[in-house]
Amino acid sequence: MGILTDGDKELLPRILRQNGGFGLGTEWYLRGFKPLPYQYEYHQARIGNTTWLAGVAGGKTVGSAASCTMDCISIPYFKVLNTSVTAKQSELPFDQFMSWYEGNNKLEHLIEDIKLRPWPIVKFKNFSLYEFRTSGTNARFIRGTEFDRIVFDECGLDYNGEIVKVLRSRLRGIRPDGNKRMARLDCITSPTDALWLRERYNRGLETEETYDPAYYRSFKARTRDNTNLTEEQIRLMEAEFTDEELAVEMNAEFPDYGMSFFPKSHINACTSLDLLSMGQDAVEAQTRGWVIEEHFRHGIVKWEMPYDPEAYYVMAGDPGKDDPPRRNSGCIGVLDISKTPAQLVYFHWTAGHGSINPFMESYYYAINKYNPIVKMVDNTGPQSGTQEIGFTNIGIETDGINFTSKKNAALNHLSYNITNHEIVWPIIKGLVKQIASYTMDNDRKDDFPQDIVMMMGMLALGLRFKDIEPDSKPGRKAHKVSRKRRTTIARRR
C-alpha cells in the first residue's frame, strides 16, 4: 500500500502473532493502549476456539476490539465480525474503535471508509473489514458470508447454543490473496447457566477431563484482575451486588442455580430469540409502537410491542425507587393472553433514582397503551400504600394483590406456566437471571433482587383470565383513566 509510512512498514509486520508485537502495535496505533497480560494472551492464541469469561470491567470488550483491530491493519483481506444477540452489545466494540480512531493520525490513514448503516462496517485500505451486527435468530443474518474471525460477545445469552454452530460454519475459505482464513471463533461473555458454554469453556482448561488443547483455549478475567481499576472503584462495584451475584458478575464464576424454584431447561424454552429478533428488525425499520432500550451492562431494560385491538392484556407492576439491578427497582409487565403461548409485550425495569415517579409514569403509560382487562400492583412491604398514595392521585384504580396471601399462589402459577411453556418473553437478561436464581430462601435476604419474579408471578395469576369467554372478561372502559384525570395529570407535568 502506497499510504504506509516508514513507521508502518517497520511496525505492522511486528504486530503479527509470530512476532509477538501486539502491545507495540496497540500503544502506537490505539492512543497508548497497553494490554493487560491476559488480553495479550487472548490475542496471541493461535487456535480455532477461544472462550473468555469476564467479570464486570474485566476488559473483554476493549481487549477484543484491540485484538481485532491489530489483525485488520496487519493482515490484508482479513475479515472480522463482532456479533451478539442484542444490537447494543454487538456495537460496543465499534464505539471503542471510534474512540481510538477519531482524530488519530497514526490510524486514520489506514482506514478507507466507515459506514454506519445498515450496520457499522470499518473498511481498511489493505482491504480488511471489521463488521458489527446482531446475529438474529439462529444467526440468520450471518449465513452466506465467510470470515477469518468472529467474536461472539455475551454469547452466554444464547441459551440453546444454536448460534455458535452457524458462526463456526462461516469461518472458512481462502482470502483473495490466496491465504487460508484464520477460522477463529471467540466466545466472550459474563458467565451464564448455558450448558453449551460451560462445556466449551471446560474443553479449554487443563484441569478438566474434556480438555482438548488442539482446538480449545479458555481464559478468565475477574474484575480485580484489571489492574487499571482502583481499589475504590472495585469496592463501589462490589457494593452493587449480593454475595451470590459477586461470584458471577465480578469473579466470573458460573452461576449455581441448583436449588432454583423454576427449572432451568424450561426457563430457556420460554426465552425466545425469535421474539427478540423480530423486535430488533421492527425497531431498525422504525415500525410504530416498537421500543427497545438496552443498558450496556444489564441488557434490555425496556421492551415495548405495538397494541393489538383484537388482543386481551393483563398487567402487573412491582413498585420500586431504586435502579436496576438492585432490589426494589420498579418493574412493569404486560402480557398478551390472547396468544398461545402468552406473550410478554411490555417490560420496563425502571430506574427510580430514589423516586417512585418513574415507575408510576411507566405504569400509567402502559395502561393507556394496552388497556388491560386486569391490572395489578404489589402492595406489600416497601410497596405498602402505593395504590393509595400514588395511583389514586393520578386517577388509576388497580387490582391490588397482597402478596402475604397470594404470593405462593402466584409463584406456583408462574412455575406451572414456565414448566408447560405457556408464556414467552424475549432475551431479557435481568428477567431470566432473576427467575433462574430465585429460591424461596431469597425472601429472607433483604438485598436479593426478586422484583421481576414477583411481577411475573402476578402476570401468571392474570393469565387465568385466558380461559374466560370474551364477553365475560372484565370491561375495559372501567379500567381506563378518565379524560378529566388525564387532563389534570398533563397540567401537573
pLDDT at 442: 57
pLDDT at 477: 45
Q: Is 122:129 a contact under the CB 8 Å cutoff? A: yes
What's phi and psi for 247, nearest 5 deg? -60, -40
pLDDT at 489: 28
| 197 contact partners, CB below 8 Å, separation of at least 6 | 51, 155, 156, 161, 187, 189, 191
Q: Which helix (H) or strand (E) holds 216?
A: strand 216-221
pLDDT at 382: 56
Q: Which helix (H) or strand (E) holds 40?
A: helix 37-44
The C-alpha cell 462495584 sits at 237
Q: Is 287:306 a contact under the CB 8 Å cutoff? A: yes
Per-residue pLDDT reduced to its tens digit, 288-336:
999 999 998 889 999 999 999 999 999 999 999 999 988 889 999 999 9
Count of helices and strands (H, E) across the chain = 17, 16
pLDDT at 398: 66
Q: Is 435:452 a contact under the CB 8 Å cutoff? A: yes
pTM to 2 decimal places: 0.83
Question: Which domains are assigned to the chain?
Answer: 6-249 (3.40.50.300), 264-492 (3.30.420.240)
Task: Tell me the H-state helices in 239-321.
Answer: 243-249, 264-270, 273-284
pLDDT at 87: 84
Residues of the chain with pLDDT under 50: 475, 477-493
Q: Which helix (H) or strand (E) holds 60?
A: helix 60-74
Nearest Cα to Cα of residue 239 among 382, 69, 447, 55? 447
What's phi and psi for 147, nearest 5 deg? -135, 155
pLDDT at 484: 36
